[in-house]
């Protein structure tokens, strides 16, 4: 009888663990280009590589070593039309004409396991994120993340 109860308890615990692990997925709001950038930082903090890969171009270089990120929080986001115009004239927009291009100056707080890497260090940092649509019906995709 004790073995039977142990098996039932273990089975119930297993079912609950599977249920809880499947219900902690983040629902990202990607309805606007600004929200895509915000969702990107949430995904970086959650280490959601699958989502990050779905909203970035395969050529997008973002953070030198994502695995070194302990914690990252977006502090502010502000649209920057000069960087978007430069992207169209001199950057990725030279080779491909995009339906729409937006660029945002982001300020974020970063905590890394090692304290710093080639591009960032612990504390407040700033980058420019450029995001594009290839046509009216396409999703916004992050094309560049850099110093601006």
- Segment-wise mean pLDDT, segments of 10 residues, the chain, 148 residues: 70 66 72 96 92 86 74 95 85 75 94 77 90 92 84
The pLDDT, as a whole number, for residue 16 is 62
The pLDDT, as a whole number, for residue 113 is 86
Q: What structural domains does the chain harbor?
A: 29-146 (3.10.450)
79's CB contacts (< 8 A; 6+ apart) are 34, 102, 103, 104, 105
List % helix, strand, coil for the chain (3-state, nearest 5): 40, 30, 30
> Do residues 107 and 76 touch, judged by C-beta distance below 8 A?
yes
The pLDDT, as a whole number, for residue 2 is 73
pTM of the predicted protein model = 0.77
> Do residues 101 and 132 touch, judged by C-beta distance below 8 A?
yes
Sheet of strand 141-146, all strands in order from the earlier edge strand to the far edge = 69-79, 100-112, 123-133, 141-146
């Amino acid at each position: 009888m004790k073995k039977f109860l142990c098996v039932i308890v273990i089975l119930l615990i297993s079912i609950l663990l599977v249920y809880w692990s499947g219900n902690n997925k983040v629902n990202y709001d990607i309805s606007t280009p600004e929200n895509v950038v915000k969702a990107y930082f949430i995904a970086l903090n959650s280490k959601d590589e699958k989502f990050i890969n779905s909203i970035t171009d395969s050529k997008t270089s973002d953070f030198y070593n994502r695995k070194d990120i302990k914690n990252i929080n977006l502090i502010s986001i502000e649209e920057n039309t000069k960087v978007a115009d430069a992207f169209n004239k001199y950057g990725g927009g030279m080779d491909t004409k995009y339906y729409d291009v937006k660029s945002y100056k982001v300020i974020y707080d970063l905590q890394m396991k090692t304290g710093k890497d080639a591009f960032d260090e612990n504390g407040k940092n700033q980058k420019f994120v450029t995001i594009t649509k290839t046509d009216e019906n396409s999703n916004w995709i992050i094309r560049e993340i850099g110093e601006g």
